[in-house]
Amino acid sequence: MKTVIITGAAGGMGGATLNLFKSRGYKVLATDRVEVTGSDFQVVGDISDEVTWQKITKIIDQETLEVKSLINIAGRNYFDLITEAKKSEWLNMFEVNVVAMVLGIKHVLPYLRKSKQGTIVNMSSIAAQIGTSGYSAYVATKGAVDSLTKALALELAPEVRINAVAPGWIETPFTVAGLNLNPDPVAYRKTVEGMHALNRVGTPDEIAKVIFFLASEESSFMTGSIVTSDGGYLIKN
């Protein structure tokens, strides 16, 4: 069975990515900290714990799945000024946003190599390129994701390709919650939309399409790339 593994599959972009791969004929092995709707197989757990990945590989073996792609979407955020930075939060940010990717790649790589022309797509962010006040931990982890992607592109070539997608503002529950923290969410949303050349924020479905492209043979001559999908945010700001 042609299968893709998606982490963070219960989230906005994770769910959209799951649905797109399903519509293209893939089986989906999903993982998140909560139940995932619509997947063929799932493991509920912490992806920064190797036990979770051992459970995932057990399913692969039991079901004799042909793993074509690993999509690393799961991640978290943390806001604090550097003068208030908490060591435990910083360590957990790197554990979830970076080390969990490393563990996933470590455990899934043999299956990707076996399937031939396997691919990995990592979730980055334009935050890695521009910085954001108060979110230095998040920015630092996404910078690490970019560097990890480039380093592994050399290490895994030519058998496995690895790329990353760097979204801008995307209409997810997490983003909406952030907008609603502003004293005037409606006005702030208009300001945020105006920061984009396309004058709007993106949708999870739009990012899912970029992920699918990077995971598919349509991007066969790409590896080590960080693909920006931000509605023109960077060029306007």
pLDDT at 180: 79
Q: Per the structure block, which two tokens stand in for 81?
A: 């000024």
Name residue, tokens 């609603």: 180
Q: Per the structure block, which two tokens stand in for 116?
A: 């031939």
CA neighbor of 74 nearest in space, from 91, 54, 97: 97
Catalytic residue among 26, 78, 111, 138: 138
pLDDT at 28: 98
pLDDT at 39: 98
Find out whether the peptide bond into 158 is cis, omega within 30 degrees of 0. Answer: yes
What type of residue sits at position 122?
A: N
138 belongs to the catalytic site: yes
Q: Which residues of the chain have pLDDT under 50?
A: none
pLDDT at 179: 78
Q: Per the structure block, which two tokens stand in for 180?
A: 């609603």
Residue 175 to residues 74, 101, 119, 165, Cα–Cα distance (Å):
15, 22, 28, 17
pLDDT at 156: 98
Q: How far apart are CA 66 and CA 68, in angstroms?
A: 6
pLDDT at 82: 96
* Cβ count within 10 A of residue 181: 9
Residue 210: beta bridge partners? Answer: none
